[in-house]
Amino acid sequence: MDSCIICGGTEAGCLLKLREKGSRGINIASKKRRDTLNAIPGQSVHLDCRKNYTNPIRINKYLKDSLNNGQPDDTSVKLLRSKDVFSFPDHCLFCGCQAKNNNLKRGNDVFPVRTHDFQASIIDICLERQDEWSDTVYGRIQSVNDLHAADAIYHQTCSVNFRTKKNVPSAFSTPSKEIKKGRRVDAKVQQAFEDIFIYLEDHENDQHKLSDLVDRMGRLCGNEAYEPWYLKKKLQDRFGRDIIMTESHGKSTIITVRKAAESILHDFHKQKFKDAKEEEISVISTAAKLIKSKIQELPTQNDFYPLPSELEKCNYNISHLPEHLSKFLQQICGERNDLRIAAIGQCITQATRPRSYTAPLQIGLGVQLHHHFASRFLIDTLHNLGFCSSYSEVQRFETSAAYSQGTDIPEYKPGQCVQFVADNVDHNLRTIDGHNTFHGMGIIAGSTPGGDAGQTPVPKLNVVPSDLILKGKINITYYKAPPKSSIKIVFPKLKLEKIEDSTKNLDMVARIIWPLRAPTPSWSGLMHMCQTGQHPGKTTITFLPMIDMDSSDMSCIYSTMVFIVNQAQKYGFTPIITFDQPLYWKALTIINDGTTSNILSTVILRLGGFHAEMSFMGSIGHVMKNAGLKEVLETVYASNAVTHILSGKSVARAFRAHNLVETALHVLLVQKFLA
């Protein structure tokens, strides 16, 4: 009959069969207890025996009793050195030492209890701490109903330590010659550190946060746990070169335990194989361990994201792979498939080091997918398959890029023409409940000729929304309209100079030959043929912060123009801003009201190209309204469409309609001329 491997009992009704996880837990507890018990799957154990054997509290008690050779622990003494009768007006409420209130003079910072809430908060902390010091303080508090009435006093340092779950300050604790408890505490802390050491060895294939290890040690030894910096030093001393610590800006240090290549090869040569198949599997397993060890050694740059220009280079992407992995993939994929080798290799590297490594191709693919599709489902699905970064990492990249830019114009060079464009921005307008919608003012800046956009690396930051709001904030300047405001549009006289234009007849030629249906270029093609010289280059577009106000609000428009003027003064260029027709009219009202002339006197206000064309088409329709133009257009378009054509609202139709009319007139003129 099966028996319990812990107690040896054979009660069949209480026996359980161990599995892989259960046997591993018993073996870990055996190491902690310094026993020789070795459990394997399939053995039997009592449920209560397993719980008691693996219980951390019982393990610590067992080790303490072992240190005392089975004798009761009589070394514990009071941490507080006050053995006199406690007096609230004369002794510190927390440490019990003599204290004296110096009436706000600097000394030991002794303060009286002034409120009843103080007593209630201390009781809550006592119930939360549940240690010897809290029991002593709780007993004192329970002896009185009102600490303020009892004239209780306390040391400020004692109060801070008690609230932050630390020990009694050394200045008010038992002298070192009276303390006999230190060795027991040191042994407890050492045992907790040994538990961390065993845990890392048992989970050498995982990556661990340093903060998680500190918390784990704190659960074993309480407030005596090592600080993060000291635990890091102790682990480095214990593991040496077999431990890798990866630090990232704004994130916890990542701990990885690895085996050196010499150790892996030594284990391989010690093995004895039954047949060729077992040897093949062992060779593959050893190769995988070697590649994993080299991946863990690979240095990573966690301070900045890669540049777009770098992601386009295969050599840069392959440089992020260890040589062993690169050679392995070349044997499988072929030496000419550099891009596939880099992509597959970075997927393997990212899967091996998910916390401490950010694959360049994976973050680049995630950002590109987000720009094109804005689908969290798509990105997270590919991330779960191991092909791209997670959606949270993509969001972190975008917030880091927005925070690092702020309200600046990156890559600006003196001499560039910068034109600002502002218009309304709408988001989430079709929500069912009408909430979480956005209607504000969006601003972009176009720099011509464009600079080398994307050549400034984006730092990896942990940005919270409040920091991002402060970084990209546009100050709101409220506009107060004058009592009477009227716009006076003044058209200055233009000084025209006679310039010989060699292309003045091209327009006439293009109109005449258009109806011939010959393979002639369009207007843009004709201008391209006539243009000489070098093109200045594409315009670089920079997205600037939005203003969370109604875009048609006068204060919103005024704040937008003030922000643009400040930007122009910062970089030293003339402020040029483009609005659509409704916002243009209000902006013109603000500039001409006379009260803001000093601030906005340098602003060049422009009407957007589309609205300028719409206004021009509407002007033609208004002037030619009674000249028969409507009747001519109704031979081609419906009457309702003609109404929109003449008003300029239907720009595309109006442009084609006027072209048809002009071409028909030219044909009639040419026909009459040649007749």
Q: Could you tell me the two tokens for 536? A: 């200045």
Check whether residue 104 and residue 174 sit in a common domain. yes
The whole-number pLDDT of residue 519 equals 64
Q: Note whether 323 and 298 are within 8 A (CB).
A: no
Check whether residue 398 and residue 426 sit in a common domain. no
Q: Note whether 560 and 586 are within 8 A (CB).
A: no
Check whether residue 168 and residue 102 sit in a common domain. yes
Residue for token digits 């025209």? 496
Check whether residue 592 and residue 455 sit in a common domain. yes
Check whether residue 466 and residue 569 sit in a common domain. yes
Residue 614 lies in a domain: no
Check whether residue 329 and residue 397 sit in a common domain. yes
Check whether residue 545 and residue 584 sit in a common domain. yes
The whole-number pLDDT of residue 568 equals 94
Check whether residue 337 and residue 470 sit in a common domain. no
315 burial type by CB count under 10 A (0-12 exposed, 13-18 middle, 19+ buried):
exposed
Segment 101-124 shows an average pLDDT of 73
Q: Is the pLDDT of residue 181 over 50?
A: no
487 burial type by CB count under 10 A (0-12 exposed, 13-18 middle, 19+ buried):
exposed
Check whether residue 136 and residue 175 sit in a common domain. yes
Residue 527 lies in a domain: no
Residue 274 lies in a domain: no
CA torsion through residues 59, 61, 62, 64, sign: positive
Phi first, then psi, for residue 78 (nearest 5°) are -70, 135
The whole-number pLDDT of residue 209 equals 80
Check whether residue 365 and residue 425 sit in a common domain. no
Return the H-helix or E-strand segment holding 421.
strand 417-427
Residue 116 lies in a domain: yes
Q: Is the pLDDT of residue 261 over 80?
A: no
End-of-domain residue from the set 179, 211, 244: 179
Residue 640 lies in a domain: no
- Amino acid at position 186, single letter: D
Phi first, then psi, for residue 396 (nearest 5°) are -65, -40
Q: Is the pLDDT of residue 234 over 60?
A: yes
Residue 675 lies in a domain: no
Check whether residue 107 and residue 63 sit in a common domain. no
Q: Note whether 424 and 548 are within 8 A (CB).
A: no
Phi first, then psi, for residue 424 (nearest 5°) are -70, 145
> Percent of the chain having pLDDT more than 70?
84
The whole-number pLDDT of residue 122 equals 86
Residue 103: pLDDT band with limits 50, 70, 90: low
Cα gap 580→347, rounded to integer Å: 47
Check whether residue 370 and residue 468 sit in a common domain. no
Q: Could you tell me the two tokens for 375? A: 């689908």
Cα gap 98→82, rounded to integer Å: 8
The whole-number pLDDT of residue 170 equals 76
Long-range contacts of 164-170 (CB under 8 A, 24+ apart): 165/129, 165/223, 166/223, 167/79, 167/133, 167/223, 168/79, 168/80, 168/94, 168/95, 168/133, 169/95
Residue 250: pLDDT band with limits 50, 70, 90: low
Residue 286 lies in a domain: no
The whole-number pLDDT of residue 515 equals 64
The whole-number pLDDT of residue 177 equals 38
Q: Note whether 551 and 583 are within 8 A (CB).
A: yes
Query: Could you give the 3-state DSSP secondary structure of residue 112?
Result: strand
Residue 558: pLDDT band with limits 50, 70, 90: very high
Write the pLDDT tens digit of every residue in 262-281: 667 767 777 777 788 888 88
The whole-number pLDDT of residue 393 equals 92
Write the pLDDT tens digit of every residue in 608-661: 988 899 989 999 988 887 888 999 999 999 999 999 999 988 899 998 898 888
411 φ/ψ sector (left φ>0, alpha ψ -120 to 50, else beta):
left
The whole-number pLDDT of residue 74 equals 41
Q: Note whether 310 and 319 are within 8 A (CB).
A: no
Q: What is the pTM of this model?
A: 0.57
Write the pLDDT tens digit of every residue in 493-544: 777 777 777 767 777 776 666 666 556 666 677 677 777 777 777 888 999 9
Q: Could you tell me the two tokens for 443? A: 């601003």
Residue 565: pLDDT band with limits 50, 70, 90: very high
For residue 663, give every residue at least 6 positions away whose Cβ sits within 8 Å of its Cβ, in sequence order, or none: 511, 514, 515
Residue 246 lies in a domain: yes
Total domains present in the chain:
5
End-of-domain residue from the set 405, 431, 462: 405
Phi first, then psi, for residue 600 (nearest 5°) are -105, 20
Write the pLDDT tens digit of every residue in 11-31: 655 677 777 777 777 877 887
Parent domain of 19: 12-67
End-of-domain residue from the set 384, 405, 426: 405
**DSSP labels, 543-583:** EEEEE-S-TTSHHHHHHHHHHHHHHHHHHTS--EEEE-HHH
Q: Is the pLDDT of residue 108 over 60?
A: no
Q: Select, from the ranges 149-158, 329-338, 349-358, 578-587, the one with the highest average predicted confidence (pLDDT).
A: 578-587
Residue ranges of alpha helices (H) inside 68-177 are: 116-129, 132-142, 156-163
The whole-number pLDDT of residue 102 equals 58
